[in-house]
Structure formats: C-alpha cells, structure tokens
Amino acid sequence: MTAPISSTTAAQANDSPLVSVLTAVYNGERFLPETIAGVVAQSYPHWEYWIVNDGSTDNTAAILKRAAAEHPGRILIVEHPGGVNRGLGASRNLALAHARGRYVALLDADDLWLPNKLAEQVALARQFPHAGLLYGRSEYWRDWSGDPQDAGKNETPPLVAGDRLYEPPKLMRLHIRHHPERVPCPSALLIDRELLCRLGGMEEAFDAQQALFEDHALLAKLYLAAPVYVSSQCWDRYRIHPDSICAAAERSGALPAARRYYLEWLRGYLRSQNVTDQPIWDGWRRASLFYRHPAMHWVARAARRLRRGI
C-alpha cells in the first residue's frame, strides 16, 4: 500500500480544494489506461487518485504499478488484505478511508472524464457551498468501439431540470417516482467527503449480484441528507460495452432480483431514518408493487396506459 500524500495547506483548502478521485477496478486492463489518462489530463491540478485493485487476475496490477510510478504521490494504489475480491462498495469504501480531499469524485474504471470536469464542478461547489452532492449529465458512449454500427448512437439523456439546487427530500421524491430512468452515473458525481463519511460511505451489502444498484443506495442517502446541485452540463462519458455491470445483469436476468433487493434495502433505510414524507412512501409503494402484488401491478399499469390513451 502506498502512503497517503501530505495534508493540504490552509490556503489550498480555501482557494483550491483537494479532490480525492476514487476508482475500484476488477480485471480492468482493457479500459483502465484511458480512464487514468482522463484524470491526469484534468485542467484542475489539485487532485489525488486512489485506485483499489479489487483482486484482479489480469494485467491490472501492472498497469496500476506503472501509473503510480509515473505520478508518485498523486496516483496511489491500495488493495484488500490478501489481495481478495470484495466488490464495488467495499472497494470504494477502502479508497474513501484513505481520501484526504475536501471533495470525493467517483470514477468507474471503464468511463472517461472530459478535461474540465473537476475544474467546473469545483467552481460550482464553491458557488453552492451548502450542496453535499453535485452532478451533471453523462454521455452514453457507444462509438468508442469504432464499429460503424455504433456511429452516431451516442446520447446524453436528460435527468431532472438542471442548473438549480434541490433541497431535500425533493430529489428523493423524483428518484423513487422515475426510478431508474433519471439516475446520474457514478462518474458524474462530486460529493462532500465529510458528508459521505458521516453517512457511512457506500453500502457494502450490495454484493456482486446487486452491484447494479449500489450507486442508487448511495444517492438515496445523499438525497435525503443534503441539498444537491444538478447541472445541465456533461463532464463524463459512460462507456457502453458488453462486459459492464449493467450489460451482465441484463444478460443473466439478474436485474429484477437486484432491483427488488434495492427496494427492500430502501424501505429499511427510510424507516431507520424516520422518513415520513408521504410522496416518498407513495413512490416506494408504486415502485415495489410488482414484487409485493404482481397482479395488482399489471392492473395498475393497464389503467395508466388507458388514461394516457396508449
């Protein structure tokens, strides 16, 4: 394990806050070099990059060793005791435990940041200091493959109305109502580190079978805890490829069970936080109706389609 870099000075903390970039990687040799290069190319220079090698068996370790050697004290590599694989949540938490920045930025090992991502997000975070979370839109990136069939198929789907601050629990209401269509990508997030630590970091209960919804659980915690600034800008490219967690879940048919697990977790979390907001609970009941009462779900769905004239 590489030792953490020294603490930032008071001037840097006030004028140019440090950002801790966190990546968890398992067998990521195919895309990891490009992901790392996107961090190194940031126009904002005040970052540290913690990468957790989560038990990789491919060439990931060699790639990380080379990157750390090229950027000593800035790219820092850690792994779990014994080099075991512990999954996304535990690996992100391991990186978070070492992070020293004012802000935390998650970055998936197959995504790519645009060069002004950190500079523009930090500027907005300073403009809205009460925001515990800030994010923008993501480009769903298909033409990276070079396949002519993917040409022109990139898209940057809308989320909620942008360029505004949302007080809690507004985004939680929207999240549960529109789940999962309007959830930002993890690589788009900039989070207040102290808030994230206070909330207990990532939810490690979301293992390999439920990893698709680990970020949904994180967002639910943040949406309930602090104001969130949503930008209409796009700062990252979310790579669409057949080996991603989303694609693997769809192929295996694991998506419904993973979503049910998330909704059950969410019910428990809402209760633990004594959330009594009626729109949130109404949204949860609608979202979970299929799992609790399948027949009622199809009746309700048919009724909605009739009202829309579909």
CATH of the domain at 114: 3.90.550.10
179 confidence band (pLDDT: 50, 70, 90): low
118 within some domain: yes
Q: Tokens 């993917």 correspond to what residue?
A: 150
Per the structure, the count of domains in the chain is: 1
What local confidence, expressed as pLDDT, does residue 253 receive? 67
What residues have CB less than 8 Å from 227, skipping those under 6 apart? 128, 130, 131, 132, 165, 166, 167, 168
40 within some domain: yes
Q: How many CA atoms lie within 13 A of 137 on its CB side?
A: 17
Confidence check: pLDDT of 220 > 50: yes
Mean pLDDT, residues 52-68 taken together: 98
289 within some domain: no
Confidence check: pLDDT of 308 > 50: yes
What local confidence, expressed as pLDDT, does residue 295 receive? 46
277 confidence band (pLDDT: 50, 70, 90): very high
Cα–Cα distance for residue pair 66/87, rounded to 1 Å: 23
**Residue 89, burial from CB neighbour count under 10 angstroms (0-12, 13-18, 19+):** buried
Hey, is 169 helix, strand or coil?
coil
Taking alpha carbons only, the member of 176, 183, 56, 146 closest to residue 109 is 56
245 confidence band (pLDDT: 50, 70, 90): low
Confidence check: pLDDT of 287 > 60: yes
| Number of C-beta neighbours around residue 103 at 10 A | 26
Could you tell me which residues are beta bridge partners of residue 49?
Answer: 21, 75
2 within some domain: no
Cα–Cα distance for residue pair 88/108, rounded to 1 Å: 10
Mean pLDDT, residues 270-278 taken together: 97
226 within some domain: yes
Record the tokens describing residue 277, joined without a space.
């907001």
Confidence check: pLDDT of 8 > 50: no
Mean pLDDT is lowest, of 14-18, 34-38, 54-58, 106-110, for 14-18
DSSP 2: P
- Residue 218 domain boundaries: 10-252
Based on its alpha-carbon atoms, the radius of gyration of the chain, rounded to whole angstroms, reads 20
58 confidence band (pLDDT: 50, 70, 90): very high
279 within some domain: no
| 8 A C-beta contact, residue 266 and residue 220 | yes
Name which residue leads in pLDDT, 18 or 151: 18
| Backbone CA torsion sign across 132, 166, 186, 209 | positive
* Per-residue model confidence as pLDDT tens digits over 89-147: 999 999 999 999 999 999 999 999 999 999 999 999 999 999 999 999 999 999 998 88
258 within some domain: no
| 8 A C-beta contact, residue 171 and residue 162 | no
10 confidence band (pLDDT: 50, 70, 90): very low
H runs (alpha helix) in the chain: 10-15, 32-40, 60-70, 88-98, 117-127, 170-178, 193-198, 214-225, 245-252, 255-272, 278-292, 294-308
Confidence check: pLDDT of 270 > 90: yes
Cα–Cα distance for residue pair 136/235, rounded to 1 Å: 7
299 within some domain: no
What local confidence, expressed as pLDDT, does residue 15 receive? 77
| 8 A C-beta contact, residue 39 and residue 21 | yes
Mean pLDDT, residues 35-49 taken together: 98
